[in-house]
Amino acid sequence: MSQILIRFLVGGAVVSAFAIIGDLLKPKSFAGLFGAAPSVALATLGLTIATEGASYAAIESRSMIAGAIAFMAFASCVSWVMMRYKVSALLVTICSIPLWFGIAFGLWYIWLK
């Protein structure tokens, strides 16, 4: 339970810190770089190495490559749709989440399984 609480607090703090840095920066295209910050990975990998070992963390990191490729497709899709159609950011981002799942798990199935 305490492990979960630590993960929650560290994760929330690291993700928020990168999000605030992104908020502060201009132009928005540069600030957007921080939307793809490795915040969850930074919060997770240190704790994972300490509890599960380096090999376990290395496997997670390898899978993260597939997650990052899916993230690229997700962010590109959100940007493209928002530039061309009159839809809200919330709707586009939520509706594009299945794209992340499709690509991430597709790559996992082809490459990592």
Partner 1 sequence: MQIKVDPSVIRQTKWYEYAVRFLFGGLITVAAGIIAKRFGPDIGGLFLAFPAIFPASATLIEKHEKQKKEEEGLQGTQRGREAASVDAAGSAMGSVGLLVFASTAWQFVPRFSTWIVLMGATVAWITVSVLIWHVRKRV
Q: Does 110 participate in binding partner 1 (rule CB under 8 A)?
A: no
Q: Does 106 participate in binding partner 1 (rule CB under 8 A)?
A: no
- Pick the closest to residue 70 from 41, 33, 97, 89 (CA basis): 97
User: Which of 2, 100, 102, 110: binder of partner 1 (CB under 8 A)?
Assistant: 100
Tokens coding 100: 């992340």
Tell me the closest approach of the beta carbon of residue 85 to partner 1, in angstroms: 9
User: Which of 79, 98, 102, 110: binder of partner 1 (CB under 8 A)?
Assistant: 79
Q: Does 1 participate in binding partner 1 (rule CB under 8 A)?
A: no
Q: Does 89 participate in binding partner 1 (rule CB under 8 A)?
A: yes
Q: Which residues contact 95 (CB under 8 A, 6 or more apart)?
A: none
Q: Which residues contact 69 (CB under 8 A, 6 or more apart)?
A: 103, 104, 107
